[in-house]
Chains A and B, each alone.
Chain A
């Protein structure tokens, strides 16, 4: 099960890398991408709160090295 997941993610990464060569977008075609709700992190405040919340209740690892210091969560 874990093996399949890893392979799937690797495939996804390769797909992304593969795709990078074949897209071309003029500046005026990027209007939708620039909208706030298309941001990678459309709500940074809520995201930091959620990370804090999940960090003290779940055991998943983080994919972001900039998120240190959530506290002990010793409850």
Chain B
């Protein structure tokens, strides 16, 4: 956001130079022409070179995938951490001097993450044993954080035989204790506005990042001053971030987690414990960019960040081994027992960080390549020093291709409070005794009332009277450990440990015609404690590898407009294009696209061979309120007894479900009667459930979801490919057919995490990420227009082409009929009303793997139905000027009637929004 210069000028210069590069013999002419091009603008290029992204829209997908962590003694069958990130962004100049940027990012991550680190001898990753045809096998591991361990007198862990308990010998190795996480979603958006003077720039920006458990809002100001004929630029920036943690502690680990240090930050609500914390970060940076010559520049920056507040990772615990000092110091040499406990980690609540970086960029004229060398050093008062080297070689090699190999090395020291695990010479709990040495008892329900026992074990109150114990729930009063005897801060988070990361990767860019850039990248990382500068600090148990793969598309508006000069798109078409070569394309038809309501897919065609359309479509749907049985509401008793199956009564029911879908729409017209369309999808869903009244009791061995937290899934959805074929066209009337295929790229094997020894099983049908089958998507669309009026109708369907997906079922087929009418309110704004009828069949088949069967959402008959909706929409399209060809449509779909198969949550409404760019 902050590093841009006279980019448009630079591009002109670059373009002019590129054109002239082919004519090297005429160097003088080149120099003179370049000068002539530059001088009228009176602007020299700034030391800040071109902004590669100015005036563009981009969409990017990243997959982060970790390899499995080592558990040493048991096989690791947990899925490693995986994150899917999508990002849509735009960077446009509103005027010559005013620039606007925005971006939207969505992450979904899931997988196994370390909750703590412990001596390997504690067997913290307990094997899960399963029967198999070949006998008992180890199917995986589950976390076990509270246990005992045998130690020698130097506090070295001693490994014991798991069956006999016999001491085998000293084993000082450590291991991460893994726990799997169900998918979680983050949404973030930011905006920025910049102003450019001739020799200065100022940018302001801000944004919001929202996760279930973490909200963060931020703002920043940055600027640049050019001097010395723009050979030197000075930069500055200030930023502020305010973040709030509301972490719902894992209700399955809470009973085993010691969290006394945070008791005043933990709220109990709806059966869950929520850890609250606030944090603020202030940052500032200054920098200098200096052009060193015709082919090189250097850039140096210093950044300072001050943070305060809650900086803990609320899901990380420290393994503290409590050793009774009496047994340690009893002058024997037999092994002693350590009491292994997991305590929420504690970090300092202040942090000062300084980073110094230098970047050197050299143009290699022989190859027209650019070498970028970066070095960054950072230090902080937590004791973490880091060194990072990065080298990129950017090599264009003709026909619009650019390849960028890259290498990076990062090394960091451990924080001074990082330890894999710690010892404390005190007991975790001590039984309380009164002044006479008698053990104190208390009532679990009312712990303020204390008791003692006489020699006959009778319970006595404080006045010495006998008490009827049958009315109470008495237990020994215990005194917890003394927190003051622990270090002030402790963490075993591997990110605070000492390690090095070496990575190498490559990015490939292809510039297509009309300013479209496609990009693919891959980078492989290995993170090893042995790679740390200054030697291995012994943390090799935390080594792992990971990779990041990315794909992106960027649409450069400026280049498109250059290619399409005057080709005014939209309602006003035909007015300005007549003098241009493309006059033949004078588009009396593009506006049809703008008038199809946002919720209609495959609703319009590009008419001219060679036309492109790039679109982004967002759909949001919400279900909530009543559970319907057919068209009427069902009560809890009906749901319990009828909504699941004859063999199983329902125990839970959904309270709400939200679905978000992001789609890219890339359309190309190879001929004027055929369009090809590619539509990748990214989905995320969220649901919460509640217990039904009158439900059957819990079954042993089946995990039940409790607490206030909902659950989410997300990632890549199914990918649609289709062709649109023009069947009929006269002025005012058009008919086209769509033949589409949906490829099952969305995962239908999404599982809840395993909780201890109990599998979570497959997530509900409606929260899987795709259909799992190849589907045929036919459609027939008619559209018409007369003066200011437009209208249309579409019939479309989904036919599943396989009997079952990999999880054993297939979704029902769909048929949908819709008709709409619209009116152009102004040249750029139109409104529409639409009616929709949808019929979808129930699911065929059933899950072929374990599913919790907890409520109506887990049974195949409770899917599909008949739905009647009304849609109200508006479309704004830019008829001319720099942003011609852009249109934005929004449609709200309001259910009029639902008639569901079986028992389902009521549909509350849906929003469709589409941005299209037609060129």
Q: Give the B-binding residues of A (Cβ under 8 A).
A: 1-2, 5-6, 9, 12-13, 16-17, 19-21, 23-46, 48-49, 52-54, 56-72, 74-75
Given contacts A31-B34, A34-B10, A63-B376, is CB(A72)–CB(B245) below 8 Å?
yes
Contact assessment for A71 and B209 in the assembled complex, using a CB-CB cutoff below 8 Å: yes
The one of A1, A27, A33, A40 in contact with B39, judged by C-beta atoms closer than 8 angstroms, is A27
Given A20-B231, A72-B211; 5 other pairs, CB 8 A cutoff: A28-B32, A37-B370, A42-B370, A48-B103, A68-B219
Contact assessment for B294 and A33 in the assembled complex, using a CB-CB cutoff below 8 Å: yes
- With a cutoff of 8 Å between Cβ atoms, the chain B residues found around residue A75 in the complex are 81, 109, 111, 113, 181, 315
Contact assessment for B377 and A42 in the assembled complex, using a CB-CB cutoff below 8 Å: no
B823 at the interface (CB under 8 A from A): no
- C-alpha spacing A38/B17, complex, angstroms: 14
The one of B52, B113, B396 in contact with A44, judged by C-beta atoms closer than 8 angstroms, is B52
Contact assessment for A9 and B548 in the assembled complex, using a CB-CB cutoff below 8 Å: no
Contact assessment for A66 and B239 in the assembled complex, using a CB-CB cutoff below 8 Å: yes
Query: For chain B residues 568-585, which have a beta carbon within 8 Å of chain A?
Result: none
Contact assessment for A62 and B386 in the assembled complex, using a CB-CB cutoff below 8 Å: no
Query: For chain B residues 366-393, which have a beta carbon within 8 Å of chain A?
Result: 368-370, 372, 376-380, 382, 384-388, 392
Give the total number of A-B pairs whose CB atoms are below 8 A apart.
285
Contact assessment for B284 and A68 in the assembled complex, using a CB-CB cutoff below 8 Å: no
Contact assessment for A63 and B214 in the assembled complex, using a CB-CB cutoff below 8 Å: no
A59 to chain B, nearest CB (A): 5
Contact assessment for B402 and A37 in the assembled complex, using a CB-CB cutoff below 8 Å: yes
Contact assessment for B45 and A30 in the assembled complex, using a CB-CB cutoff below 8 Å: yes
B220 at the interface (CB under 8 A from A): yes
The one of B50, B213, B527 in contact with A39, judged by C-beta atoms closer than 8 angstroms, is B50
The one of B58, B370, B387, B548 in contact with A35, judged by C-beta atoms closer than 8 angstroms, is B370
Question: Which A residue's beta carbon lies closest to that of B533?
Answer: A1
Contact assessment for B507 and A66 in the assembled complex, using a CB-CB cutoff below 8 Å: no
Q: Is the interface of B mostly helix, strand, loop or mixed?
A: strand
A67 to chain B, nearest CB (A): 7
Most chain B C-beta atoms within 10 Å of own C-beta, residue among A12, A29, A31, A66: A66
Contact assessment for A43 and B298 in the assembled complex, using a CB-CB cutoff below 8 Å: no
- C-alpha spacing A68/B217, complex, angstroms: 8
Question: Which B residue's beta carbon lies closest to that of A2?
Answer: B385
A3 to chain B, nearest CB (A): 11
B456 to chain A, nearest CB (A): 53
A7 to chain B, nearest CB (A): 11
28 residue pairs A–B, Cβ–Cβ below 8 Å: A5-B377, A9-B358, A19-B290, A20-B231, A25-B293, A27-B38, A27-B44, A30-B13, A33-B45, A33-B363, A34-B10, A36-B52, A37-B402, A41-B3, A43-B404, A44-B3, A59-B412, A59-B415, A59-B495, A59-B496, A60-B386, A62-B303, A63-B356, A64-B2, A64-B303, A65-B222, A71-B214, A74-B213
- C-alpha spacing A4/B281, complex, angstroms: 29
Given contacts A16-B288, A37-B396, A61-B354, is CB(A69)–CB(B294) below 8 Å?
no
- With a cutoff of 8 Å between Cβ atoms, the chain A residues found around residue B534 in the complex are 1
A71 to chain B, nearest CB (A): 5
Contact assessment for A38 and B354 in the assembled complex, using a CB-CB cutoff below 8 Å: no
Contact assessment for A71 and B295 in the assembled complex, using a CB-CB cutoff below 8 Å: no
Contact assessment for A64 and B45 in the assembled complex, using a CB-CB cutoff below 8 Å: no
Contact assessment for B387 and A66 in the assembled complex, using a CB-CB cutoff below 8 Å: no
- With a cutoff of 8 Å between Cβ atoms, the chain A residues found around residue B238 in the complex are 65
A58 to chain B, nearest CB (A): 6
- With a cutoff of 8 Å between Cβ atoms, the chain A residues found around residue B219 in the complex are 68
| B interface residues, tally (CB under 8 Å) | 138
Contact assessment for B190 and A69 in the assembled complex, using a CB-CB cutoff below 8 Å: yes
- C-alpha spacing A2/B314, complex, angstroms: 32
Query: For chain B residues 287-341, which have a beta carbon within 8 Å of chain A?
Result: 287-295, 297-303, 305, 313-315
B781 at the interface (CB under 8 A from A): no
Given contacts A42-B370, A45-B89, A53-B548, is CB(A63)–CB(B303) below 8 Å?
yes
- C-alpha spacing A24/B791, complex, angstroms: 64
- With a cutoff of 8 Å between Cβ atoms, the chain A residues found around residue B521 in the complex are 46
Contact assessment for B550 and A66 in the assembled complex, using a CB-CB cutoff below 8 Å: no
The one of B207, B281, B298, B368 in contact with A16, judged by C-beta atoms closer than 8 angstroms, is B298
Contact assessment for B291 and A40 in the assembled complex, using a CB-CB cutoff below 8 Å: no
- C-alpha spacing A70/B10, complex, angstroms: 31
Question: Which A residue's beta carbon lies closest to that of B356?
Answer: A9
- C-alpha spacing A33/B1, complex, angstroms: 20
Nearest 10 A-B pairs (CB), nearest first? A68-B218, A61-B353, A72-B214, A65-B239, A65-B237, A63-B303, A61-B378, A34-B10, A60-B386, A37-B394
- With a cutoff of 8 Å between Cβ atoms, the chain B residues found around residue A68 in the complex are 207, 216, 218-220, 239-241, 281, 283
Question: Which A residue's beta carbon lies closest to that of B30?
Answer: A28
Given contacts A37-B402, A39-B50, A42-B372, is CB(A60)–CB(B507) below 8 Å?
no
- C-alpha spacing A18/B498, complex, angstroms: 37
B49 at the interface (CB under 8 A from A): yes
- With a cutoff of 8 Å between Cβ atoms, the chain B residues found around residue A19 in the complex are 290, 292, 298
- C-alpha spacing A34/B209, complex, angstroms: 34
Question: Which B residue's beta carbon lies closest to that of A27?
Answer: B38
Contact assessment for A49 and B87 in the assembled complex, using a CB-CB cutoff below 8 Å: yes
The one of A21, A25, A42, A71 in contact with B394, judged by C-beta atoms closer than 8 angstroms, is A42
Given contacts A27-B38, A49-B60, is CB(A69)–CB(B241) below 8 Å?
yes
- C-alpha spacing A34/B363, complex, angstroms: 11
Most chain B C-beta atoms within 10 Å of own C-beta, residue among A32, A39, A69, A74: A69
- C-alpha spacing A60/B305, complex, angstroms: 11
Contact assessment for A41 and B44 in the assembled complex, using a CB-CB cutoff below 8 Å: no
The one of B10, B38, B52, B105 in contact with A42, judged by C-beta atoms closer than 8 angstroms, is B52
Contact assessment for B113 and A16 in the assembled complex, using a CB-CB cutoff below 8 Å: no
- C-alpha spacing A27/B46, complex, angstroms: 10
A73 to chain B, nearest CB (A): 8
Given contacts A16-B288, A61-B354, is CB(A34)–CB(B293) below 8 Å?
no
- With a cutoff of 8 Å between Cβ atoms, the chain B residues found around residue A34 in the complex are 9-11, 13-14, 17, 45, 49-50
- With a cutoff of 8 Å between Cβ atoms, the chain A residues found around residue B297 in the complex are 33, 38, 40
Contact assessment for A70 and B376 in the assembled complex, using a CB-CB cutoff below 8 Å: no
- C-alpha spacing A65/B103, complex, angstroms: 17
Given contacts A25-B293, A64-B301, is CB(A74)–CB(B214) below 8 Å?
yes
- With a cutoff of 8 Å between Cβ atoms, the chain B residues found around residue A53 in the complex are 62, 64, 548
The one of A13, A39, A45 in contact with B87, judged by C-beta atoms closer than 8 angstroms, is A45
- With a cutoff of 8 Å between Cβ atoms, the chain A residues found around residue B507 in the complex are 43, 46
Given contacts A40-B48, A65-B237, A67-B239, is CB(A72)–CB(B412) below 8 Å?
no
Contact assessment for A69 and B188 in the assembled complex, using a CB-CB cutoff below 8 Å: yes
Contact assessment for A45 and B356 in the assembled complex, using a CB-CB cutoff below 8 Å: no
- With a cutoff of 8 Å between Cβ atoms, the chain A residues found around residue B166 in the complex are none
- With a cutoff of 8 Å between Cβ atoms, the chain B residues found around residue A21 in the complex are 228
- With a cutoff of 8 Å between Cβ atoms, the chain B residues found around residue A16 in the complex are 288, 290, 298, 300
Question: Which A residue's beta carbon lies closest to that of B61?
Answer: A49
A66 to chain B, nearest CB (A): 4
A44 to chain B, nearest CB (A): 5
- With a cutoff of 8 Å between Cβ atoms, the chain A residues found around residue B218 in the complex are 68-69
B146 at the interface (CB under 8 A from A): no
- C-alpha spacing A64/B353, complex, angstroms: 12
- With a cutoff of 8 Å between Cβ atoms, the chain A residues found around residue B217 in the complex are 69
B684 at the interface (CB under 8 A from A): no
Query: For chain B residues 50-104, which have a beta carbon within 8 Å of chain A?
Result: 50-53, 58, 60, 62, 64, 81, 85, 87, 89, 91, 103
- C-alpha spacing A37/B357, complex, angstroms: 20
The one of B30, B228, B237 in contact with A64, judged by C-beta atoms closer than 8 angstroms, is B237
- C-alpha spacing A24/B294, complex, angstroms: 9
Most chain B C-beta atoms within 10 Å of own C-beta, residue among A19, A40, A72: A40
The one of B58, B295, B376, B519 in contact with A60, judged by C-beta atoms closer than 8 angstroms, is B376
Given contacts A58-B386, A59-B384, A74-B214, is CB(A33)–CB(B203) below 8 Å?
no
- With a cutoff of 8 Å between Cβ atoms, the chain B residues found around residue A72 in the complex are 186, 211, 213-214, 216, 243, 245, 313
- With a cutoff of 8 Å between Cβ atoms, the chain B residues found around residue A23 in the complex are 231, 290-293
Contact assessment for B50 and A63 in the assembled complex, using a CB-CB cutoff below 8 Å: no
- With a cutoff of 8 Å between Cβ atoms, the chain B residues found around residue A38 in the complex are 49-50, 297, 361, 363, 370
Contact assessment for A49 and B85 in the assembled complex, using a CB-CB cutoff below 8 Å: yes
